Amino acid sequence: MSRAALLVLADGRFPAGGHAHSGGAEAAVKAGRITGAESLESFCRGRLYTAGLVSSALATAAVLGVDPRQLDEAADARTPSPALRVAARKLGRQLLRAARATWPSPELDALAGQFPKGAHQPVVLGLTARAAGLEPVDAAYCAAYESVSGPASATVRLLSLDPFDATAVLARLAPELDRVATRAVEAARTAVEEGVDALPSASAPLLEIGAELHAAWPVRLFAS
Amino acid sequence: MHLDHSHDGPTALSADAHRKDGTRRALRIGLGGPVGSGKTATVAALCRALRDELSLAVVTNDIYTREDAEFLLREAVLPPERITAVETGACPHTAIRDDISANLEAVEDLEDEVGSLDLILVESGGDNLTATFSKGLVDAQIFVIDVAGGDDIPRKGGPGVTTADLLIVNKTDLAPYVGSDLARMAADAKAQRGELPVVFQSLRGEAGVTAVADWVRARLAAWTA
């Protein structure tokens, strides 16, 4: 394996469609819940321990070889908002296209055949990490980091927030990213033994509600 | 993934010339250019000119609304199932150049759902003079500028003006009113582009989109040859 592949996969410029999504930040900005760096940090922390932890554990379980179909169903069960399920599958499909071109593997081809309209993004992320020869913990970090880096860069565009402030928010969250990734790996290892019900199911109701409202706006900058 | 790639995978990746069932995919032509230069009007005119002879579809890339897609729907230039809007997250050039995944998904879905297509027009959201399409997304690209945006744009150049397969200088009927020198624009475009073609167009004039439609037909003939 090459650990450097993690840098390729986690790079915000990896062409997998993430740039068009705000991770709920656009809805939160409109609702007045993100107004600057401080509230962005609170928002990201909340997202990290809920959607971020769940995504991280799903991705890790995929690297460990848990059946993708079961993981996709587990992701559905943990995503009440239909708009978020649609967004997660869209992003999964886009990631799969980029992954198959970047790290060709029979396993990724099989996944594309099994889910022609896309599997949940964290499931695809885990199998992509596997195809890239990465370790379970690498996928855990990648998913956890994505759960906060997306909203941070979207908020720079939405609020004209100072980009240095947004990046400093991500740096301050780093120790918590470590904790979430560690918990995700533990949960995923348990799921290998006990099944997908052992995966975390932390939920952020405001993210789910915000996503439903956002999907109905006639004018918006981001797809979700 | 190149034109001679063998096609046994479940889906095509980017510029593959064939669909997963082995048939040749539609020719994809991108239209880019600054805000308000007439991209959507040109797309609408092309649809009207070509829809009786070709099976075609359109992907629009709107920046923060579905306005361009809705204009095309309202004008009824094509049936609604042949028009798809991609959301670009405030960055139209990213969606056509740096991260083309959403646009590739849109063209793939159109081919799957509408059936056999000859041509897909991919319209960019209005952007700046550096916005160009990735070769992984389109087979040829048109850059649309207009005389009212300033007659120095061809001189300024930039990747869109200098490298597009076709440059359209639109709204020539406005030239006398905005003080634009068409001869100077033509000379500057020639200097920037060498042998690459330039069309001066007024959609209000009698010729309308004819020259551009002919260029598209020639590209399509080369694609299917």
Closest chain A residue to B94 measured between Cα atoms? A19
Q: What is the pLDDT of residues B211-221, one digit of tens each?
A: 999 999 999 99
Task: Return the pLDDT at B204.
Answer: 94
Which of A16, A20, A98 minimises the CB distance to B95? A20
Closest chain B residue to A111 measured between Cα atoms? B10
Question: Would you tell me which residues 45-64 of chain B have a C-beta closer than 8 angstroms to some C-beta of chain A?
Answer: 63-64
Contact B105 A16 (CB under 8 A): no
- Identify the segments of chain A with pLDDT beneath 70: 1
What own/partner pairs with CB < 8 Å and gap ≥ 24 does A158-166 have? A158/A22, A158/A25, A158/A26, A158/A29, A158/A34, A158/A221, A159/A29, A159/A34, A159/A35, A159/A36, A161/A36, A161/A37, A161/A40, A162/A37, A165/A36, A165/A37, A166/A37, A166/A40
Q: Which residues contact B77 (CB under 8 A, 6 or more apart)?
A: B43, B44, B47, B48, B51
Assess whether pLDDT exceeds 80 at residue B5. Answer: no
Higher pLDDT, residue B53 or B17 = B53
Gap from B2 CA to chain A (nearest CA, Å): 11
Mean pLDDT of B28-38: 95
Task: Return the pLDDT at B62.
Answer: 81
Q: What is the pLDDT of residues B156-202, one digit of tens each?
A: 999 999 999 999 999 999 999 999 999 999 999 999 999 999 999 99
**Domain boundaries of chain A, sorted by first residue:** 5-215
Assess whether pLDDT exceeds 90 at residue B88. Answer: no
Determine the residue among A90, A93, A127 to mutate to test chain B binding: the one whose Cβ has the most chain B Cβ atoms within 10 Å. Answer: A93
Task: Return the pLDDT at B1.
Answer: 38
Question: Would you tell me which residues 133-172 of chain B have a C-beta closer than 8 angstroms to some C-beta of chain A?
Answer: none
DSSP state of B92: H
**Domain boundaries of chain B, sorted by first residue:** 30-224
Task: Return the pLDDT at B10.
Answer: 52
Q: What is the pLDDT of residues B34-79, one digit of tens each?
A: 999 999 999 999 999 999 999 999 999 987 767 788 889 888 899 9
Assess whether pLDDT exceeds 60 at residue B7. Answer: no
Task: Return the pLDDT at A1.
Answer: 66
Q: Which residues contact A30 (CB under 8 A, 6 or more apart)?
A: A214
Q: Which residues of B touch A15 (CB under 8 A)?
A: 98-101
CB contact, 8 Å: B177 with chain A? no
User: What is the CATH code for A5-215?
Assistant: 1.10.4190.10
Assess whether pLDDT exceeds 50 at residue B4. Answer: no
Give B129's pLDDT tier (boundaries 50, 70, 90). confident
Q: Which CATH number fits domain B30-224: 3.40.605.10, 3.20.20.140, 3.40.50.150, 3.40.50.300?
A: 3.40.50.300
Give B6's pLDDT tier (boundaries 50, 70, 90). very low
Task: Return the pLDDT at A64.
Answer: 98
Task: Return the pLDDT at B12.
Answer: 60
Task: Return the pLDDT at B70.
Answer: 86
Give B120's pLDDT tier (boundaries 50, 70, 90). very high
